[in-house]
Structure 1
């Protein structure tokens, strides 16, 4: 369609749904469709009046509704929590203009006090609502402010303002002999080489599959470095993750540190889980961040959108996680509605027809058998096979390979290492570690307990598993099977015996694997891909022997950073299998550092 036609949908979103269903397409209700070709403006409340009446009815009297789970009726009531809209629509809906008003007065008072719910109701008591545009003779609606002095770019007039205000002398315009004016560069400006370096970082960046769009398509390095046609979610990812990385070696430290703090503020604000104590600290930090920004950028930079940052943390403290109120699901849904348009001369009719057809497809599958794939039970892109619950958890692999396999034969040493990792991670044979500790203690009676633990950890985890050790593990497991044959479940004893017999030397190797909804690729596959899914991070509790006192080691929390090199499927008896990830990992040492900007850098 074109910009000359404006259609305004009004969508209701129920919030009493699980997080994985809330604000998803099947649960968005198109309640109004305000036709074009022009925007309704302040007349939008006239279109909204029937919907408001229905919402009032649902709040006051409710609707008799059948509950299929309890097979009984109940009174369904609804309450309007908030509205989600862009700022022009916010001004039309509330009657309060979102434009700035500057009269040159210096503000020296503190921040305004937040109003309580009772105070808001008291101020709105007796408030007269007139549908349609504001009338000039109504003194109770003094909201038609006008934007007087809101500049949005750094230009000659902005520098003249700095000169008139007597601040930032290094940015004052300098007249030249030829009649032109020289504008000194600001500390945050980048020259052409710096811009090329900045754009190259964004051009070569790789993000995990499904995390963001291919931002490199919108980055131009030659002949002029610039960014083109970024979507709103692209800017979201750029602000949260990519911008701090791209500027960390370009801008001066006092400039990039403040920008990184602002990016960190938004990244923490948009987390799926929010800590109320952190939000109180964020309310204090954002004020300091904006003050630091005022020392770097010109006053024209600070419009109403920058000022809104002050209120976001307090709004999150009142309303909860922000992903229930932001515009991204709405924008995706607008794209869905646009896709319904088949006749561009009748866009509203096409949208209504497509929406009704989509509703039919949503409700009718509820009456089909569960084994029929529908919109409600279709598998996601990164689904796994669910595993086999009839065997030991070590053999119950909740995942599926990607692509064809490569059958290879492993050497005995490599096979022993792989099998030892399987034994070490099998919770059903924890007795294996206990027995091994007892054997080591008997063989080394003069060693301290921490030395025995260290030796035990090395033999189970390190890459020096020898043939006698592997046979020892097998013997221990077999003895336990013989002792507990009468007391243990036949299924468990059979699986433990299979585990004790060891894997086949013929294994399968894969280049990709999907597990727990995440997609992984080995590092060699990603060289020609635009996404990166070989990174693995794992947090674990481990024993520290370097700082151990007396005989007991100290348990510490260690974060492992891995790069996936290989995916190996071990075959055991009776068709059982275990999939292992072979990684290059870093947990500590000189190859992991935290730089001055707070970035964790790894040298693999």
Structure 2
């Protein structure tokens, strides 16, 4: 019948399940295919074999016919299908099959090809024609991954001075944003508003500072803030400029101004240079924005890194990097100052006298050993051991973050007792300055005090260190305090805290067990049974340090005062009685069967007391910090804790009366316990504490703690809440020392 309808051709399209009208076969082979494989069930109207289509035929058949004709007209017309596809790959064959493949199983409307053709007509639509949703993700920039955005300029080299070419489009955009503004949409209020923005300042390292600001950062006037008032002097033998003269930044009546023997042999009567802001720069350059006091901010971490590196290399006398080599001594001789440090020639050898900050070979080894053997908490810093070479007595491979930790925390520990008080005090003061200026909370009065202190510190460094030590990075330290004050650091920190708080909201959503919202154990659970004495001590401490119980503390104190008048006159006896009886009184005050709406279930169970059966762990994470007991041997140190607690104190040994005062205590964790209050589990740390009056003292701004002498007995008061623990780490002063710092 098909042969008759289409005129008895030699070959026909085979409608079997395998060929699916994509292959021409002779009549005999076509018959075999139909017998063996069966006919294609989707081929309902034989339009390929002479049967005509009518308007009443279903849409699937019509589109299948159109799809076939489209591919035939594009790829097959004029040649036999088999000869045409011999040179094509599997991708092409897959496209041919898409012409007759359903879009998805049970689809009665589209094939893969017809769906692509239908979507082609809608490629320029901005909204879904069905629901009207925009095709663009409008909230993409509000996700937490996009809080901070940065622009990366690809290429084998940095743009350098050509950075202005990249920033030219940005300048035009900033002018538009400030002068005219752009239309923006507030998704919360569903309103439109005019958005304006301003670029107030930028932060980059010092080489990029010069590229971006278009100012000098090398040579005689390399300080961009002092400008032409930069105090510099050329060092003939070192072949570079030295930036000293920080006495002129001091007050006019400061005693350092008259210390001729400390510095260059002359009294200082000069004034500090006028700071180069937009107004002063505009006097030299036309068309310069002159409203701002600061246009580009100094990168404190970059300065800190270079300062710390110079100090360490000079103290350890690293070859090629020390600032106190032969050339530096020849400069002293050329300038006619510090004659005791001039080089001496004896025969063919040149001897360099030791300076006050010069470390002996044993002191260098002790300096490196302190850093090499130092164990810090997890996440505190990189492994310092990897950067210390004990054979060469030098530091290698430190990054900016490592220098940041070294300058603010570890350098003071490493140099303690290794040099005379003068140079050691100057270095420690500089470390303390960087530590304080980088605090999260700063007020203007504190910053102004730091500004004055750092000028004195730089003057002390000038007294002990050679002129070659004072490169421009050392000089820039004098301007850090001013910039911190002008940048309204309290506002900046408040804004950064907002970002942190948003992140904390996300982290809190991850908490699954509301019974332990503060942390989680990181070791195997061990069941223990507490003695009645330890259980009472732990329970009492939790009651005295839980916010929900706090209102009852005052009630109990008032009742004790009314009970006995002696407690009103003697606060020491009152406090002692309060601690001894509060847990028993609390259990009677808030009974389990109480129906008062003011008393929550948590308060009732806290008053009732914990179970004797508890869980013990060797590790615990809380407040983002990882703690382990002291007996666990690790490459890091996570057992040191500190806490500020209120205790009864005497002003002297002869004083009988006691008053409550806030005291810092230091200790190590011996056991981590999870107390079970039936509806809530509370983690506590059992610690060995150093006795504050006897074995804790402050020396060279470091806290010295003897952890092996006069420790409190375990039964006295060993517990603290895990949430109260402040993590600290200890470093031995030397191998035979019992003190940790």
TM-score, scaled to structure 2? 0.58
Q: Which residue does the alignment assign to 1:81?
A: 200
**Does 1:309 find its partner at 2:477?**
yes
| Structure 1 position 308, deviation (Å) | 0.5
1:585 aligns with 2:689: yes
2:643 corresponds, among 538, 556, 565, to 538
Cα gap change, 1:376/1:277 in structure 2, threshold over 3 Å: closer, same or farther? Answer: closer
Q: Residues 565-580 of structure 1 correspond to what in structure 2 (within 5 A)?
A: 565-573=670-678, 575-580=679-684
Paired position in structure 1 for 2:668: 563
Please state whether the residue corresponding to 1:53 is helix, strand or coil.
Answer: helix
- Asked if 1:201 is matched to 2:304, the reply is no
Q: Deviations over 1:338-391 (max 9, x none)?
A: xxxxxxxxxxxxxxxxxxxxxxxxxxxxxxxxxxxxx998749xx983874xxx
The CA deviation at 1:126 is: 4.0
Residues 333 and 339 in structure 2, CA contact (< 8 A), matched pair in contact too: yes
Q: Give the alignment of 1:20-59 within 5 angstroms.
A: 26-31=146-151, 33=153, 35-59=154-178
* Contact 1:62-1:78 at 8 Å conserved across structures: yes
Distance 1:193 1:69, change over 3 A: same
Quick check: 2:560–2:574 contact (8 Å CA) kept in 1?
no
Q: Distance in 2 between matches of 1:225 and 1:104?
A: 31
Q: How does 1:289-368 map to 2 (within 5 A)?
A: 289-321=457-489
* Equivalent residue number for residue 191 of structure 1: 360
1:594 paired to 2:695: no
Aligned partner of residue 415 in structure 1, secondary structure? helix
Conservation of the 8 A alpha-carbon contact between 2:629 and 2:639: yes
For 2:631, what is the secondary structure of its paired residue? Answer: helix
Which residue in the other structure is 1:365 paired with? none
**What is the Cα deviation at residue 397 of structure 1?**
5.2
1:226 and 2:381 matched: no
| Structure number with bigger Rg | 2
Q: Distance in 2 between matches of 1:502 and 1:255?
A: 57
Mapping of residues 153-192 of structure 1, within 5 Å: 153-177=323-347, 179-192=348-361
Query: Where does residue 611 of structure 2 map in the other structure?
Result: 504
Runs of 5+ in structure 1 lacking a partner?
1-20, 129-150, 326-374, 389-394
User: What's the Cα RMSD here?
Assistant: 3.8
Secondary structure of the 2:441 match is: coil
Whether the aligned pair in 1 keeps the contact of 2:182 and 2:196 (CA below 8 Å) is yes
Matched with 1:8 is none
Higher relative contact order (CA 8 A, sep 6+): 1
8 Å CA contact retained: 1:59, 1:79 = yes
Deviation at 1:448, TM superposition (A): 4.7
Match of 1:603 among 693, 703, 706: 706
**1:292-323: CA deviations, max 9, x gaps?**
11121111111111110111110111114499
Separation in 1, partners of 2:650, 2:366: 45
The CA distance in 2 between the partners of 1:572 and 1:189, in whole Å, is 60
C-alpha change, 1:112 and 1:441, in structure 2 (3 Å) is same
The alpha-carbon deviation at position 121 of structure 1 amounts to: 4.8
Residue of structure 2 equivalent to 1:488: 597
Once the 2 structures are TM-superposed, how far is the Cα of residue 194 of structure 1 from its aligned partner?
0.8
Q: Does 1:113 align with 2:274?
A: yes
Q: Is the Cα–Cα contact under 8 Å of residues 384 and 514 in structure 1 kept in the other structure?
A: no
Q: How many angstroms apart in 2 are the aligned matches of 1:263 and 1:297?
A: 16
Please report how far the alpha carbon of residue 563 of structure 1 lies from its aligned counterpart in structure 2 after TM superposition.
2.3
Rate the CA distance shift 1:565–1:450 in 2: closer, same or farther, 3 A.
farther
- Residue 178 of structure 2 aligns to a residue whose secondary structure is helix
Give the corresponding residue for 1:523.
630
- The answer to whether the Cα contact below 8 Å between 1:384 and 1:515 also exists between their aligned partners in 2 is no
CA distance in 2, matches of 1:164, 1:398: 64
Aligned residues: 483
Give the Å deviation of 1:32.
Answer: 5.3
Seen in structure 2, the aligned counterparts of structure 1 residues 27 and 385 have a Cα distance that, compared at 3 Å, is closer
Within-5 A mapping of 1:62-461: 62-101=181-220, 102=232, 109-114=270-275, 118-121=279-282, 123-126=284-287, 153-177=323-347, 179-221=348-390, 223-321=391-489, 379=507, 385=511, 388=514, 398-429=518-549, 430-431=551-552, 434-435=555-556, 438=559, 442=563, 447-451=566-570, 453-455=571-573, 457-458=575-576, 461=579
TM-superposed CA distance for 1:275, in Å, is: 1.9
Q: Distance in 1 between matches of 2:286 and 2:472?
A: 28
Counterparts in 2 of 1:324 and 1:173: CA distance versus 1, 3 Å: farther
Tell me which moved more, 86-95 or 111-120: 111-120
Contact 1:248 1:256 in 2 (8 A): yes
Secondary structure of the residue aligned to 1:45 is helix
Is contact 1:586–1:592 with CA below 8 Å preserved after alignment? yes
The answer to whether the 8 Å contact 1:571/1:577 transfers is yes
Q: What is the deviation of 1:47?
A: 2.2
Once residues 600 and 323 of structure 1 are traced to their aligned partners in structure 2, the CA distance between those partners, rounded to angstroms, is 32
Instruction: Please state whether the residue corresponding to 1:239 is helix, strand or coil.
Output: helix
Q: State the partner residue of 2:130.
A: none
The change in CA–CA distance for 1:385 and 1:404 in structure 2 (over 3 A counts) is farther
Please state how far the C-alpha of 1:576 moved relative to its aligned partner.
3.0
Q: 1:432·1:476 contact (CA, 8 Å) conserved in 2?
A: no
Unpaired segments of 5 or more residues in structure 2? Answer: 1-140, 221-231, 236-243, 246-268, 290-320, 494-502, 708-741
Q: Is the 8 A contact 1:399 1:516 kept in 2?
A: yes
Kept in 1, the 8 Å contact 2:443–2:490? The answer is no
User: Under a length normalisation based on structure 1, what TM-score does the superposition of the two structures give?
Assistant: 0.71
Q: Give me the whole-angstrom Cα distance separating, in 2, the residues matched to 1:209 and 1:323.
A: 31
Kept in 1: contact 2:696–2:706 (CA 8 A): yes
Q: Check 1:460–1:167 CA distance in 2 against 1; reply closer, same or farther (3 A cut).
A: same
Q: Distance in 2 between matches of 1:585 and 1:384?
A: 34
- Whole-Å separation in 1 of the counterparts to 2:193 and 2:485: 32
- Asked if the contact 1:188/1:255 (under 8 Å) is kept, the reply is yes
Q: What is the alpha-carbon distance in structure 1 between the residues aligned to residue 491 and residue 389 of structure 2?
A: 31
User: 3-state SS of the aligned residue for 1:170?
Assistant: helix
Distance 1:323 1:235, change over 3 A: farther
Give SS of 1:73's match: strand
Tell me what 1:9 maps to: none
Contact 2:591–2:608, Cα closer than 8 Å, also in 1 = no
